[in-house]
Amino acid sequence: MKPGGKDMQIIEQNTTRNKSGALIEIREGFPDRISLWADAYFQFEATTGEASRKVQKRDLGLFVDFMMTEEGSDERVKWTPRLSRAFKDYLKTGETGKTGKKPYMDRTVNRTLAHLKTFAKWVHKLRPFPLGDPMAKMKLLPVGSGLEVERAISAKERRRILDAADFLAMDGGMSKDRNRFRAKTRPKRKGFRGYRNRAIVYMLIETGMRRAAVTKIDLKDVDFKRHIIKVEEKGGLDHAYQISREGIEAVHAYLEQERAGDFDKWGSPALFLSAASNPHGDGRLNERGINTVWDEICAAAGVEGKTPHSARHAMGRHIMEKTGNVAAIQRQLGHKNAAYSLQYARITEKELDAALNDR
């Protein structure tokens, strides 16, 4: 069950002023359920941007789902400090008494708990919980320095991935039906877009752009002369990435070889389009599509255990190695907080060991 409901009738302008200045009153007989409180929270209290609100809604929805599984109800009075601790354990382990799933990363756990703490405090102020604010004493998980820079693709892996992307653009995508085409050259798969896939991988590696941002690029956002790509980034803010000459050339090749045919069907402004043979969507590739492209090329390159975000970490480390300038990293990757950029100055255990022994 997700936050929201057709029977939400909660608010009258009256006597209690919330942080955003609205005068509100809880109506008599209002169904006292967390999902409906969540609706009211986003309608009257939350003032963050649309992208942030989407994440907050997902996090609160995760708690409502957990509460329904554990308690069979999302009645407000059933939200206790012990239920909050059980939810924290669930996020850490992925296990409940009835279901099991992959645990969440520590930073995701902390983000979810932080959103829940703010929400619980607001509810408790308007209608106190019987056992007190259920999140008041909740502590977040201790985390390390933040960025898993050791998971960045290495220089060798970068070379192998880009080589594989170049090869697949020219000779990849052959039909997998070996029996049908045993006596002749197998044709390319109808939906295979080698030059598009190559350009996507170059975009990730040669800019350090997040996967989600790649899906939001429109053709008009690419400045081919200045090698700059403007895109909506995390939190709904616009950011300008610079891209290498090789990267912009890969985009050029995609436009010349493949995009026009797919644009005839979709008419989408998106830079990276689905194949015209795809019967679903609006033409714009989604994050799952980016993952599929990345995984296919990494498999061809023999690179395991690396994600599109590994390319972002690699860009941060590359800039640090070349310039030693934290501001350059912040400018390219769009970090709001320079502390995130500073972490690319961290030395790995392997590098430290090599330095100590090279005397």
CATH of the domain at 233: 1.10.443.10
- Residue 4 within any structural domain of the chain: no
Whether residue 353 lies inside any domain: the answer is yes
Q: Are 77 and 172 members of one domain?
A: no
157 and 284 part of one domain: yes
Residues 222 and 256 in one domain: yes
> Distance of alpha carbon 354 from its chain centroid, rounded?
34
Residues 227/243, Cβ–Cβ less than 8 Å: yes
Q: Do 33 and 164 share a structural domain? A: no
Q: Beta partners for 270?
A: 218
Q: Which two tokens stand for residue 28?
A: 């008599």
Which ranges in 208-325 belong to alpha helices (H)?
Answer: 211-216, 245-254, 260-266, 287-301, 308-323
pLDDT of residue 312: 95
User: Are 72 and 156 in a shared domain?
Assistant: no
Report the Cα 341 to chain-centroid distance in Å: 18
Long-range pairs for 111-116: beta carbons < 8 A, 24 or more residues apart: 111/55, 111/59, 112/59, 112/62, 112/63, 113/88, 113/138, 113/140, 114/140, 115/55, 115/56, 115/59, 115/60, 116/59, 116/60, 116/63, 116/84, 116/87
Q: In the chain, which residues have pLDDT < 50?
A: 1-15, 18-23, 96-99, 145-146
Same domain, yes or no: 116 and 154: no
- Kindly state whether residue 23 falls inside one of the protein's structural domains: yes
203 and 311, same structural domain? yes
Its pTM stands at 0.61
> Would 38 be classed as within a structural domain?
yes
- Judgement on whether residues 192 and 115 belong to the same structural domain of the protein: no
Same domain, 188 and 322: yes
- Domain membership of residue 183 (yes or no) is yes
248 is a domain residue:
yes
Domain count, the chain: 2
Answer yes or no: do 107 and 158 share one domain.
no
Output the pLDDT for position 5: 44
| 3 inside domain | no
Within-domain flag for 136: no
Domain-terminating residue out of 79, 111, 126: 126
Cα distance between residue 162 and residue 259, in whole Å: 20
User: Of 73, 93, 126, which residue constitutes the final position of a domain?
Assistant: 126
Same domain, 202 and 337: yes
Give the residue numbers spanning the domain of 70: 11-126
The answer on 232 and 183 residing in a single domain is yes
Last residue of a domain, one of 126, 141, 169: 126
